[in-house]
Structure 1
Amino acid sequence: MYLERYDKRWRKKPFFLLICLLLILLCSLIWYTLKHKRWDASMAFLCDMQVGRKNFTNTNQVDLLRDVFLQRMQYEQPQTMKPPRMDVLMITPWFAPIVWNGTYNIDILNAQFHQRNAHIGLTVFAVKKYTMFVQTFIDSAEQFFMVGHKVTYYVFTDRVSDIPALTLRDGRKLVTLEVPSYQRWQDVSMRRMEMIRDQSRQKFIHEVDYLVCVDVDMKFTDDVGVEILSDVFGTLHPGFYGTARQHFTYERRPESTAYIPSDEGDFYYAGGYFGGTVEEVYKLTSYCHDAIIKDKENHLEARWQDESYLNKYFVYHKPTKILSPEYLWDNNYGVPGVLKRRRFVAVPKNHNAVRN
């Protein structure tokens, strides 16, 4: 009798084992699903105004995008067969616009960037005696730079106490960032790339949308607005905007990381005026700093320091917008006919006295 009962239990055992395995599999599946499920960042409260109740709706982020709507404005109709400028190149072979006076409508652009609530960071380096230019620079920027938009001035300096207290427009502020001093002005120039890179990763990415990186020994003399902003932009050097590439002062030594062959290159860009989104400026400055360090390890220094590496970057990473020489000018070059406005000009100075 005992053996018979045991035999019946034994015959039922595979069935119970199968049930147990299925339960274990089901529990494992539920656990895995709960563990790997993520709350969607776009979870939103949607209010149904007709029934007067709130619903949880798991929406996609694109459903939360604001409608872009420009207010009514009157302006001259663009003419398909009549370009605004016939005397200058207005677009590159890779469809990047070149910004000249008369080629854009600032009212339309302002409306677009106000809807984005864009915040612009303006960086300058005031190291050693260059602190003497800060007040003139900021005063002129308050008058002409990004008027009506949020701006943060980032002043890199080794002499924080020399930076004057300035009264700024609403929505603007000045931040000083203390940096080391270097014996040679060339080292100060090249280290800019490293410092902008580091601050882009640590600070700028959390505070602003765009960065404009310029020299401090300059002053704004005419309007500079959101027409310059793009993913990544460079500025035509005032001494080379009409020159053949063979005559550009690129780095021509093949052993340098900044080397550009004589049959390559589109334009010669100024090292004192570039920018873009924080992400793109981070990539640009990171590339240039890495190249500088590599040359330094090989006891090389490019012909024009950071400007040489910037030009190398733009040969193989084309800018999405280019600023004409209106945006960076030296009055020692005179005033050519194509230059309708001089927006940002060099302050007269004795370079040797300031640099030494």
Structure 2
Amino acid sequence: MYKGNSFGFVDRIVKKLVGMKIGILYIGIGKYLSLWDDFYKTSQKYLFPDAEKVYFVFTDSDDFFPESVVKLYQKDLGGRNNTLYRFKMFYEHRTALSQCDYLFFFNGDVVFKRTILSKELIPCESEGYLLALSWHIYQIKSPKKFPYDRNPNSLAYISYDEGVYYFQGGLNGGRTKEYLELAEQCMIAVDIDVEKNNIAAVADESYLNRYLLNKKIKIVDTIYGKPEKFFFPIHAKIIFRDKGTFFHSKGIEHVGCINYKPALLRFFIDLSKYLRYFHKKCLLFFHD
């Protein structure tokens, strides 16, 4: 169901585009819409300046958006369900989304810090036309320690003997055809598991990891999705803002995790992890 901008307006936006059409998927439900302004302003400044962008905002808000934004009404499903059913939200609007050549989802708390050209994120044929984010802290861990879903009754299940990468849910995308296939399969798996009360441990992220298991895709690291409280890498192009700090500054109630480690200790822990990751990358580079 469309609210705000009509489906005809979707057509008018997309028909204006020349060349590559990149759809930006954004979920702004309830208080999370307060993060939208910074996302949009920094995206307009830094994201894909070499391509045309159309924004698809899934929201329950009656607010008006800029002309380049398609507002898609999304009921507030409450807390975790707004994340769990993320791929279902996308797939239900596949007709509108299919008018774009590529689709990319970014977490609502994202701000862009440096220029990102389309070639940096767009996956090619040898990468299965799909992209996902894997933080460097997981690339120096044993896969046995990844937070994969270990419940064999869940369709997101990954055994301790499987896996090479752990993918974060805050950035993923690809060519529209392949990305909508991903969304459809994750949606189906979620619906089946919910029916059987076998919901995966890390919501949509668990199903994403299961779908991408053993697939050759384009993988980007923390440069394209650094949590605000990470010290490294210092040259990150995308930051995931600390939602607790942001909402507190706006006087909005939010329950989140608190890191009680002193800042200096966190700095050296982060430095150690990043140096290990950098060393691993160098070894792989020279080995190739």
Where do residues 86-101 of structure 1 align in structure 2 (5 Å cutoff)?
none
Give the letter aligned to residue 176 of structure 1. Answer: K
Deviations 1:288-332 (A, max 9, x none): 11111111111121110000000000104x143111211011132
Is the 8 Å Cα contact of residues 25 and 104 (structure 2) preserved in structure 1?
Answer: yes
Mapped pair 1:196 → 2:98: no
1:139 and 1:319, CA in 2 relative to 1: closer, same or farther beyond 3 A?
A: farther
Give the letter aligned to residue 323 of structure 1. Answer: V
Distance 2:158 2:145 in 1: 12
* Match among 210, 217, 230 for residue 320 of structure 1: 217
Tell me, which stretches of 5 or more residues in structure 1 are unaligned? Answer: 1-115
Distance 1:354 1:229 in 2: 34
Other-structure match for 2:204: 306
Mapped pair 1:285 → 2:183: yes
Mapped pair 1:221 → 2:113: yes
Other-structure match for 1:251: 149
Where do residues 120-269 of structure 1 align in structure 2 (5 Å cutoff)?
120-161=22-63, 163=64, 165-166=65-66, 173-183=68-78, 185-200=79-94, 202-205=95-98, 207-226=99-118, 227-230=120-123, 231-237=129-135, 239-269=137-167
Distance 2:113 2:254 in 1: 22
Secondary structure of residue in 2 paired with 1:273: strand
Among all aligned residue pairs of Structure 1 and Structure 2, give the percentage whose two residues are the same amino acid: 24
* Match among 298, 321, 332 for residue 229 of structure 2: 332
Is the 8 Å Cα contact of residues 233 and 319 (structure 1) preserved in structure 2?
Answer: no
Is the 8 Å Cα contact of residues 229 and 242 (structure 2) preserved in structure 1?
Answer: no
Is the 8 Å Cα contact of residues 213 and 272 (structure 1) preserved in structure 2?
Answer: yes
Mapped pair 1:117 → 2:19: yes
Other-structure match for 2:264: none
Distance 2:75 2:203 in 1: 18
Distance 1:303 1:274 in 2: 19
Deviation at 1:355, TM superposition (A): 6.8
Deviation at 1:199, TM superposition (A): 1.6
Is the 8 Å Cα contact of residues 193 and 285 (structure 1) preserved in structure 2?
Answer: yes
CA root-mean-square deviation: 2.0
Distance 2:86 2:163 in 1: 24
Secondary structure of residue in 2 paired with 1:280: helix
Secondary structure of residue in 1 paired with 2:25: strand
Mapped pair 1:343 → 2:237: yes
Secondary structure of residue in 2 paired with 1:333: coil
TM normalised by structure 2 equals 0.74
Deviation at 1:259, TM superposition (A): 0.5
Other-structure match for 2:283: none
Deviations 1:67-125 (A, max 9, x none): xxxxxxxxxxxxxxxxxxxxxxxxxxxxxxxxxxxxxxxxxxxxxxxxx9211011010
Deviations 1:28-62 (A, max 9, x none): xxxxxxxxxxxxxxxxxxxxxxxxxxxxxxxxxxx
Is the 8 Å Cα contact of residues 234 and 273 (structure 1) preserved in structure 2?
Answer: yes
Give the letter aligned to residue 108 of structure 2. Answer: V
Distance 1:195 1:314 in 2: 19
* Match among 249, 270, 274 for residue 168 of structure 2: 270
Tell me, which stretches of 5 or more residues in structure 2 are unaligned? Answer: 1-17, 124-128, 257-288
Give the letter aligned to residue 193 of structure 1. Answer: F
Distance 1:186 1:193 in 2: 13
Is the 8 Å Cα contact of residues 136 and 219 (structure 1) preserved in structure 2?
Answer: yes
Is the 8 Å Cα contact of residues 241 and 325 (structure 1) preserved in structure 2?
Answer: no
Deviation at 1:340, TM superposition (A): 6.0
1:315 and 1:211, CA in 2 relative to 1: closer, same or farther beyond 3 A?
A: same
Structure of larger gyration radius: 1
Mapped pair 1:353 → 2:247: no
Deviations 1:178-230 (A, max 9, x none): 111112x2100011100111222x1111x210001111111001122212101
Distance 1:323 1:133 in 2: 24
Deviation at 1:133, TM superposition (A): 0.4
